Amino acid sequence: MDVPEDILELITSYLSGELNEEGIRRLVNWLNESADNKKLFLEYKKAWELQASIMEPAIKPEEEWENFRRKNLSAFMKNEVKEKRTNSRFGQSYWRIAASLALIFISALAAIYLFRNQEVEILQTQAIKEIFTLPDGSIITLAPNSKAIYDGSYGKKERKIMVTGWAYIKVEKNENLPFRALAGNLEILVSGTSFYIQSSATSQDALVVLESGKVKAYRKGNPSDAIELKPGQAASYISSKDIFTITHPEPNYAAWNTLRFYFNNTSLEEVVTLIERAYSIKVKLSSPDIGTCRLTATFDNQSPEAILQVIASALHLKLEGGNTEFVLKGMPCQSNK
Amino acid sequence: MKKYQPSLDRRLTEEDFKNLFLKEFANLKNYAHSIVKENETSSDIVQEAFLALWENREKFENERNPKPYLITIIRNKSINYLRNHKKYHPDLEAIEDWEQHLTVQSTDQYTQKQLKAKIQETLDHLPPKCREIFMMNRQKGLKYKDIASTLGISVKTVEAQMAKALKAFHDNLGEFIMLLLAFFMKIFF
């Protein structure tokens, strides 16, 4: 038995939390018409829950706990101090502070310019991503081989942070303390929101992808030509052309953080690059020709080995190696699907 | 329902509290989510319930299990949220049976694997536009109106495409749905 289209839309909107009062009334009227309608509704609800169990981001109690504690600092003040010192879970390199500016390459100049005479805090990652809490409670997740710098004035008059590489920032809402992030030649201004930001280590190229809330993005130092982004939109700066534009983000921009990959007729070359970056591993192709094979698949939070196994069997390749170095061997794909 | 067995022959210490939070958060969030149907809201509600528990922790001295207390608070807060947004209807509550979400519905690994494959397959066969919209909503958590403005289409179109996706999942997951509903009926009827 089929559900009329308009009712199906009501059910879908209801299950995704989008149905308003009028819609709910119409849905209930239909449900009360017959027991069959109720049964159909439950079937669709189950279908919704089944897809959600696979599709929706997994619940992460540890992150929720961090949020909880941060929000309710007064209740946990004593604990906070203690745990900061003894936290060993995320702790090994929790606040990695480089001793000397001399260690920093490109960003050193910019940092000196930005943070004159101030002592700076440098957050830096190596092979794995790390989560840091900033003094105001904002949270920054740094991708492998990325860096963020802020100084002692952070959180006093404003909040300013400079990013090289990829970072995901959840800004604690505070209308009185504007939050500015600088990446390459891109500057963005927000009050409370979450976004991904990226800048190249060697050029002024940069990209920001807004996840929720609002941000203004502009060329560094030119707030007058700001573009306001909506969730899901991206703005990028391309230094070779000195262009600053709104774009649609690539589907996998957040993969390094979420470990979710969406490949839709994506070339193996690109697939491999994304996986290498997300897991800090090396994947060699036995010949460059294989790189043109195309793959459609999604992966969610799986080990790199598991992902590569699936890819290998889908493309009739052989996977060798392990740990952090893999090789995909085989014949080039005949036709690009 | 899995029972929380606290070894509380004393006060609810910070450590007990943290352990309880880490252990129960996911289940309780599923419960709140089944009522309010919004991801962030359900997290907020569960966090508020835990804060209430923390502030009233002296009531939980000597073995009183805090979980029913959390569930009650979450239920009340969630229903209040629906009421405030004019989204509450007692008939829906009766039909949906939110409490079932407090139990972990486990399926064996084989079924789980098949289910995953089936969902992937369904996703792959959705028309590209429909899939894009569905992913923006389900994976990125964007609201219909944000999807509409990002893609420059109407909210009505988003609704229609979402419904189309749900229909595809419903039609392709028939066997799993029947399995789960039958299981559910056995317990409750």
In which region does residue A262 sit, left (phi positive, over 0), alpha (psi from -120 to 50) or beta (all else)? beta
Residue A229: CB atoms within 10 A of its CB come to: 23
Query: Are A15 and B37 an interchain contact pair (Cβ–Cβ within 8 Å)?
Result: yes
Q: What is the pLDDT of residues A190-247, one digit of tens each?
A: 877 888 888 877 777 888 888 888 888 888 878 877 888 888 888 888 877 777 788 8
Query: Are A68 and B50 an interchain contact pair (Cβ–Cβ within 8 Å)?
Result: yes
Of 2.60.120.1440, 3.30.70.270, 3.90.700.10, 3.30.420.40, which CATH number belongs to A90-247? 2.60.120.1440
User: What is the 8-class DSSP label of residue B60?
Assistant: G
Q: What share of chain A in percent tops pLDDT 90?
A: 18
pLDDT of residue B63: 60
Q: Is the pLDDT of residue A94 over 60?
A: no
Which residue's entry shows tokens 């009766």?
B94
pLDDT of residue B156: 95
* Closest Cβ opposite residue B177 in set A18, A47, A264: A47
pLDDT of residue A56: 78
Domain ranges within chain A, ordered by starting residue:
5-55, 90-247, 256-329
User: What type of residue is B165?
Assistant: A
Which residue's entry shows tokens 């991503």?
A129
CATH code for the structural domain at A256-329: 3.55.50.30
pLDDT of residue B2: 40
* Closest Cβ opposite residue B142 in set A20, A45, A231: A231
Bridge partners (DSSP) of residue A123 are A148
B contacts of A75 (beta carbons < 8 Å)? 51, 54-55
- Give the CA count within 13 Å in the CB-facing half-sphere of B109: 0
pLDDT of residue A29: 95
Q: Which residue on chain B is closest to A57 by alpha carbon?
A: B139
Q: Is the pLDDT of residue A85 over 70?
A: no
Q: Across all residues in chain A, what is the average pLDDT? A: 80
Q: Which of B25, B85, B184 to mutate to test the interface with A (most CBs of A within 10 A)?
A: B25
pLDDT of residue A119: 65
What is the full per-residue pLDDT of chain B (189 aa) written as tens digits? 444 444 444 567 788 888 999 999 999 999 999 999 998 899 999 999 999 888 888 777 666 788 888 999 999 999 999 999 999 999 999 888 888 777 765 667 777 788 889 999 999 999 999 999 999 999 888 999 999 999 999 999 999 999 999 999 999 998 888 777 765 544 443
Q: How confident is the model at residue A84 (pLDDT cuts 50, 70, 90)?
A: very low
The mean-pLDDT minimum among A53-57, A98-102, A227-231, B28-32 falls in A98-102
pLDDT of residue B3: 43
What's the gap in Å between the CA of A197 and the closest CA on chain B?
Answer: 16
Query: Are B86 and A20 an interchain contact pair (Cβ–Cβ within 8 Å)?
Result: yes
What's the gap in Å between the CA of B63 and the closest CA on chain A?
Answer: 23
- Give the CA count within 13 Å in the CB-facing half-sphere of A134: 31
CA distance A294 to A315: 8
* Closest Cβ opposite residue B86 in set A21, A232, A260: A21
pLDDT of residue A103: 37
The ipTM estimated for the assembled molecules is: 0.88
Query: Are A68 and B36 an interchain contact pair (Cβ–Cβ within 8 Å)?
Result: no
User: What type of residue is A126?
Assistant: Q
pLDDT of residue B105: 59
What's the gap in Å between the CA of A256 and the closest CA on chain B?
Answer: 15
Q: Is the pLDDT of residue A250 over 80?
A: yes
Query: Are A296 and B169 an interchain contact pair (Cβ–Cβ within 8 Å)?
Result: no
Q: What is the pLDDT of residues A142-187, one digit of tens each?
A: 988 888 888 878 888 788 898 888 899 998 888 788 888 988 888 8
A–B CB contacts, 8 A cutoff, strictly below: 155
What's the gap in Å between the CA of B60 and the closest CA on chain A?
Answer: 17
CA distance A288 to A286: 7
